[in-house]
């Protein structure tokens, strides 16, 4: 199953909740990856936003948990708003800051709350004749900044999200392409004995730097043209 929680809301609608966490990334001396807090929040927000949007839900609000210190709140909000702007969204941001005790390393939690009509949920909608591909490349830590041109752009993600010939979209996280692909296949009662891709199947994709899609074979050429060199086919043997 996806890393999202569905809660009944109305007869035909559900709340959708997704979260992401970031630790040891920031500007504290003990941090492992040193980047501005705008960047920390941008990538944490994109993960939770993508998770919610990939299942067909409309994001409603962002909840920020700041374990750094009070002074970085606005920088974190700026990073969130950057991600929202790239997705053409304008959402309220609420949250809390740990202001009682200092921490040696930076930490941020991000939760996105959305809503979906049950009939529009994009889970278990992949037919047996679908094809699969990865868009973007799996990157983590310093790689994300050093090879940012290989990170799936949110502008491209938004375009893919609205294509009728794409059945499902699954953000790839720290467990890698193979793990997320197996979850996608299981959700659709599909079997595979072997799969291959030009990308490393077990490498961490950190803050959802890549995405798996299942799609109608008839739309492959148009999807390739849209994704350009971010497109990496997955070959699956049943």
Distance CA 178, CA 58 (A): 27
Statement: residue 236 has pLDDT above 70: yes
pTM for this prediction: 0.95
Distance CA 51, CA 122 (A): 11
pLDDT at 161: 97
Q: Which fold has domain 5-120?
A: 60s Ribosomal Protein L30; Chain: A; (3.30.1330)
Task: State pLDDT tens for residues 45-55.
Answer: 999 999 999 99
| Structure tokens that stand for 25 in this block | 């990334």
| Structure tokens that stand for 218 in this block | 């008839």
pLDDT band of residue 191 (cuts 50, 70, 90) is confident
Statement: residue 1 has pLDDT above 70: no
Same fold, 5-120 and 131-237: no
**In the chain, which ranges are continuous DSSP H helix?**
37-54, 73-86, 142-146, 154-161, 176-187, 220-227
Domain boundaries, the chain: 5-120, 131-237
Q: Comparing C-alpha atoms, which of 101, 44, 98 is closest to residue 72? A: 98
pLDDT band of residue 233 (cuts 50, 70, 90) is very high
pLDDT at 124: 94
| Percent of the chain whose pLDDT exceeds 90 | 94
Q: What is the mean pLDDT of residues 178-206?
A: 92
Q: Comparing C-alpha atoms, which of 46, 47, 17, 16 is closest to residue 115? A: 16
**In 1-72, which ranges are continuous DSSP H helix?**
37-54
Q: What are phi and psi of 111, to 5 degrees?
A: -125, 135
72 alpha carbon, distance to own chain's centre: 24
Statement: residue 109 has pLDDT above 70: yes
What three-state secondary structure class fits 172? strand
The 10 Å CB-count burial string (b at 16+, else e) for 8-44 is: eeeeeebbbbbbbebeebbebeebebebebbbbbbbb
Q: Are strands 25-26 and 33-34 parallel, antiparallel or unpaired?
A: parallel
Q: What is the mean pLDDT of residues 191-207?
A: 91
Mean pLDDT of the chain: 95
Distance CA 19, CA 94 (A): 14
pLDDT at 237: 82
Q: Comparing C-alpha atoms, which of 158, 133, 135 is closest to residue 46? A: 158
Q: What is the mean pLDDT of residues 147-153?
A: 96
Q: Which fold has domain 131-237?
A: Phosphoribosyl-aminoimidazole Synthetase; Chain A, domain 2 (3.90.650)
Statement: residue 2 has pLDDT above 90: no
């Amino acid at each position: 199953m996806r890393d999202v929680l569905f809660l009944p809301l109305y007869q035909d609608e559900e709340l959708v909740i997704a979260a992401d966490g970031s630790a040891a990334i920031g500007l504290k001396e003990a941090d492992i990856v040193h980047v501005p807090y705008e960047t920390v929040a941008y990538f944490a927000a994109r993960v939770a936003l993508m998770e919610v949007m990939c299942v067909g839900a409309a994001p409603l609000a962002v909840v920020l948990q700041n374990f750094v210190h009070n002074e970085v709140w606005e920088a974190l909000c700026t990073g969130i708003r950057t991600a929202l702007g790239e997705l053409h969204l304008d959402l309220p941001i609420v949250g809390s800051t740990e202001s009682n005790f200092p921490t040696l390393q930076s930490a941020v939690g991000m939760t996105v709350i959305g809503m979906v009509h049950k009939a529009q949920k994009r889970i278990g909608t992949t037919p047996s004749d679908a094809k699969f591909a990865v868009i973007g490349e799996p990157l983590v830590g310093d790689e994300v900044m050093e090879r940012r041109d290989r990170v799936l752009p949110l502008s491209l993600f938004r375009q893919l999200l609205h294509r009728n010939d794409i059945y499902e979209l699954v953000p790839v996280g720290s467990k890698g392409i193979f793990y997320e692909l197996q979850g996608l296949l299981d959700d659709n009662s599909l079997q595979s004995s072997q799969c291959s891709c030009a990308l490393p199947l077990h490498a961490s994709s950190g803050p959802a730097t890549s995405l798996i899609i299942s799609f109608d074979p008839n739309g492959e050429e148009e999807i390739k043209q849209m994704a350009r060199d971010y497109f990496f086919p997955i070959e699956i043997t049943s």
